A and B are shown apart, each in its own frame.
Chain A
Amino acid sequence: MPILDHLWIIIALPLVGSAINGLLGKNWPKSVINTIAIGSVSLSFLAVLELIREFAQLPADQIPWVKDYFTWITAGSFRVDFSLQIDQLTIVMLLVVTFVSSLVHIYSTGYMAHEGGYYRFFAYLNLFVFFMLTLVMGANLLVMFVGWEGVGLCSYLLIGFWFLKQSAIAAGKKAFITTRLGDLAFTVGILLAFWTFGSLNFGDMFKSVSQMQADTMAHAGTITTIAILLFIGAIGKSAQLPLYVWLPDAMEGPTPVSALIHAATMVTAGVYMVARMNPVFSRAPIAMLVVAIVGALTAFYAATIGLLQTDIKKVLAYSTVSQLGYMFLGCGVGAYAAGVFHLMTHAFFKGLLFLAAGSVIHAMGGEQDMRNMGGLRKQIPITYWTMLIATLAIAGIPGFAGFFSKDEILDAAGSGPHKNLVLWLLGLIGAGLTSFYMFRLIFLTFFGEERFDHHKVHVHESPSNMTVPLMVLAFLSIFGGWVAAPHLVGGTDHFEAFLHPVFAAYAPENAGVEQNASLAGSAGASGEVASSPALELLHAILGPPVIVAVIGLALAWWFYIRKPEVPEKLERSMPGVYNLIYNKYWVDEIYNALFVAPLLFISRYVLWHLVDEGIIDGIVNGSASTARGMGGKLRELQSGNARSYATWVVLGAVGFAVLLLALVGASR
């Protein structure tokens, strides 16, 4: 059965798993729930593998491969089908999503083993996979939007998974409401896109936008507006400045959720969307610049906050925000492939970092504060080694996955067709900061003396269903980037070459030439005289990103191993800067004062007490009390006294007779 003709199977499997576990699984044993949850997702993964085999044999003119299932909405000329599509970008996303999801599901069977609501957790997790796959396979903006909102819902449900914990509920609401701000703009962007292009199908939209090139000026403003509105949606979903505030709080959820949703997959949806809409973005230079600026600023800004966080998961959360910034920086300077490449490697090493952090927390019996850890590398060696590999990868040490992708992004920002040296510098400093705070995390957690009570904490390595996913991801954190390795010595970047059709098909003419040029292999050292492969390799390995990464590593080593008193001295010598960063620039407090407090005030005193209680309740209660008052008076007529009834009857009869006589008299 060719899977290309049955694309729906890939998304249906997790949905079925979710429905079975969520509706029926309440009293089932964990083994059954595990089988259904892991089975559905890993079957989906196998289906994707089969899909890739078939996709490879597909002739180029049949890509993107679109399947229409049914007409979803028709109203006048507005028509949206529920349709799925497959192209190279979708393939990459499908692989990342189903593979990392499968690993996280396996890991969760260990991590969540002692938690209540086990069936609920896996039902949500499966549901998330379903929506995420819908998001990446949707063949038009509206189907994509269904997935987009669905993953937001699952994110909310899973952040607030421990619903008895006040902070978890608040964090869930914060995530939902903050992303909703972006989604509002996203919705308007979709409407404007339909109004402009006459269709929401990606293929039709891109054809339409590429034909508009003849009269660029007439449509430039609209296209820029669409791109920026869509990007605002991405800002919310992918936690960029200024809507990033929900992501650090989202760490209230269980750690596997942080790994899957808030690091590896969902938060990258914005990057995917920008890459998917590349024909539109490429024709909106201003929007591209906005994307690049927001990305670079976020990359730098979040990295500075990460420097002083003490909660192991918060460090990783700010790191995620920062790395997402790199992806947008890549997209913003036109290197979509580099952005998606970083998305993929980031899914591996950041997923691993979170899972390993979960393993540390598990080993420490729930402790998340790094100040209470230390010296753990002997007790939990597998966690230590895998986490170290992920750290080397995120820091961009040559040979590890993050090196290739981050290098490509900074390369594009520094010397690509849309180069911008300020943004490049921001990204470069951010890379140094990344290296510093990540090694700070490693040193504080695994090195130095043990800062916890041995009698209270029984440190133990996690069970194999948690460590095996760690090792698999560690393998990918090393080798996941090697597809791009030949690029360093002037060869082909296989990843970029694979994605090339997606980004070249509707590229504006001028950019298309440049993209082809970079494919030829000169981007690694563009602007310089082509030299021998060995020299180019040396140039890449000793490039500025690597140098700053090593400096960061060395500084972290100096601060936290060699001279542990240095950080305190620094803290005392410049308390202003320290407090500013330690308190995360008081952004939460500022947002609270600027937006939350006024909104609460208006809601409570104007809408609640005045409008609701005063006016609406006043009308309802007023009519009720009027009726009651009249009834109270009228019921006194019914005295139960037979003679008084008789009196009324007689009086009525007399009155009637008098009236009758008067009328008869008047008519004479």
Chain B
Amino acid sequence: MVNLRYKWTPFLSYGQKLELKKNTFVYRQGENGRGFYYLGQGGVKISLLSDNGHERVIDYVPIGTLLGEHGAHRGTYLTTAVTTTPSILYHFSDEALSRVCKDHPHAAMIFTNSHIYKVRLLAEIISYLDSPVEHQMAHFLLKLIQIHENENIPINQTSFARYIGTSRITVNKIIQKWRQQGFIQFSNGVIQVIQIERIREILTQVESV
């Protein structure tokens, strides 16, 4: 992910700048594709809905990366993207993409790598599906630190539960446990990681079981 950040920034002039309020849908699962987006500022969460109405958050988009690559080339949006704060995005239609690729042939590979990264992200979720919840929470918490480039993570327990695919109660139990152990602080929907090393240890401990 780190090496994909800001790779697309040189091509922003080909896109259309959008200023979106909090809780705005960027695209919805099942809609016909109208191209893809670049997150310039703010935050976007990506979620997956099953037909029985179950929602699972699968990603929080890092600033400086692309989203909705599946909607390019007249594809279909496979997930839903919603802003979590007021955000600035850049929209790239299929025409814009082909103009970028024509002027800068290496852009095609940047787009493709970003697209493939999304497949890897899903594979990563699958590889943790059968892990204990504490293990999954530690893994995704470390990931959120990377995404936000900050140890204060704005996420409430309901959202965290949807990210892990479990109940809020289960998440709450572990958050309380970590708080008592002094690994984290939690207030007003912000998790502050105090002892990142201890969270990393949880991962290795469970792995060795």
B and A form one assembly: no
